[in-house]
Amino acid sequence: MGRTLVLGGGGVTGIAWELGVLAGLREAGLDLSAADTVVGTSAGSVVGAQITSGAAIEDLYARQLRPPDGEIAARLHPGVLARWAWAFVRERDPRRARARIGRMAHAGSGSSVAERRRVIASRLPSVQWPRTDLLIAAVDARTGERAVFERTTGAALVDAVTASCAVPGVWPPAVIGGRPYIDGGVHSTSNADLAAGSGGVVALCPIARGAGPLPGPADELAALEASGARTALVSPDAAAVAAIGPNVLDPAARAASARAGRAQAPAVAERIAGVWGRE
């Protein structure tokens, strides 16, 4: 049945925290990059593409500790979140609500599509799809349907990751095959249901809870457990929450978030080993 690693959304600090946890677990003898399947959403799509590229996790972790020279902090403003919430209140159908959010996605975008694509490409060690089954979640901005990109769907890896990270109101939608796509977190912060059929599922989720109609990772993992999977959910502990801070899009908090993730890893290693097994 195989093992699946689920990597949830959570901004640039989420990328750093996830890589910190992965580096700490690798040090403890648990190599989660050896998963049969990796599911990535938003920040998790970046980490998924990184760890399946063949790059050493320790090197990826070390990159998170570099000073954020020249990087500009973005912010998900309360007004944007309010418009998201209103979309779900106004539309009883979550799919139609996501489409409404898709229509407002250009408002407040802080960069061009080309510029955003360059930023994402700079974070990936390889622009080729890996041999590992990597599933990247996004949302069709026109229909509100979830889209899942993988190596056979025809989308370039950079474009798939750019789509999954296209936070509405912050970054512009990514265009794939002539269609605009927005952040996969608008459907679910983890999209852990894509791990259905796996025997063991470990989910690293910087955002531990759902909101309104958006399912939380614990609910999605509970459904997988009901079908017979072994699961483990890891989210930031109190120290990591403090390191991440109030703005998950601030690169100044990246190094502290990575260190906090690594420091947290020993406390969760045995629980994960019970699901994953040791190499």
Q: Point out the residues that are catalytic.
A: 42, 183
- Are 41 and 7 within 8 A, CB to CB? yes
What distance in Å separates the CA atoms of residue 15 and residue 258, rounded to the nearest whole number?
8
Closest-CA residue to 254 (of 83, 123, 131): 123
How far lies 87's CA from each of 98, 144, 189, 235, 257, in Å?
A: 8, 12, 17, 27, 31
| Neighbour count for residue 142 (Cβ, 10 Å) | 13
Q: Name the residue type at position 88.
A: F
Which residues make Cβ contacts (< 8 Å) with residue 126, sequence separation at least 6?
A: 49, 53, 54, 55, 157
| 250-264 CB burial, b ≥16 within 10 A, e <16 | bbebbbbbbbbbbbb
How far apart are the two ends of the chain, measured CA to CA in Å? 17
